[in-house]
Structure 1
């Protein structure tokens, strides 16, 4: 009898021990910190490559759709889908038809290459209303700055990159129009306008890879071509004040000159 009780006791003791062992969680050894960072880096790299591939496919699709639309609009110009394409074509033809204006812009860009970018006083070869109407139908972006500042921020740089991606082909000039609000002295505002135009031009060339022979700028200080509330609404899809609109650099594609022909 005592022997049976001993066996039962031993059996219960072994069962308890095995249960205690089975409930213990065996922790896996943690990888060294450097390995964790490497894994995270590789994962982010894969995500970036995947996003880049998707972007490339979307861009190719966009270019193909744009090409098809242009071809369709030649045969069916009155179709509703062709309104924007026709407006852009009209703007290009109107800008390029006036030989004196083409030479005027050509001179502006060449002056910039010679280090003589400055305020332009004879920018009156087309009327102000024609100028603004045409610009709204050409590829453009309006980069805005805080008061008394000329430095591009992250949003500005993203805007410029998207603009360069949209214009795609290498034909024509890219013109930067520097502006300033009417606060303060005329001379100081002219300096701000020039600084905004030059910082924008340098970023387009040095960081985004545009040909230096393609990019020039002009500025009106705050006395000419001052943007109105209507202009601001047309040039950007953001709600901004008139002052904000004029503390700016307007970048647009000017299609009337092919730098390759001048070589």
Structure 2
């Protein structure tokens, strides 16, 4: 019997790659987006789900359970980017990103856990980011949402242990997706004291995404995690220096690491 997978944010980018890959491997995949148009390649069933709307989450989970009677894997991939000087980022945009990247994920988890507890099985994979391991200039809000999700996952794992429900995170670095186009960018203001540094950093971030890794690499890692009996707490996927930067943060004094970031972003 095919295992049932629910993937949020599956209409493009990393989510679509994971959905295609798992479908080809024989999984029964339900992908979601706020406004799904059609099945992906005629294989992945696309259903509507807006992670910022509780009723939408409930309806999507009920749709899968009505059709399949179980959910074996949930991949929380839906998310949005945000850039800008912290001082100049509108509060409502900060809250909107937290609603999508953090609170929305928690609501999806709450919606599927009763089923997974009843099954005495299930795995939830939360897609975070290597950016969530450090505070990055002009990406502080995004880093905060992904860092919060990583810490929450650590706590959830221990609370779910007795129910045989597994949870982990997978943190991508730079991948060639359309995330840059979908980010909220605080405008570069002519009278802003951050104008030059923010503008230069924004160009650098977009160049990193354009030169990013193939999204199928993420799909393969996610598939390997799904086949793991006891998944690790965290997984990281990216270029060597991106992953090594996390190790450096642990080893170096905070001010030394800060200097490395300042040099990297030419600040």
- TM-score, scaled to structure 1: 0.29
Which of the pair is proportionally richer in strand?
A: 2
Could you say which structure has the higher helix fraction? 1
Higher relative contact order (CA 8 A, sep 6+): 1
Which has the greater radius of gyration? Answer: 1
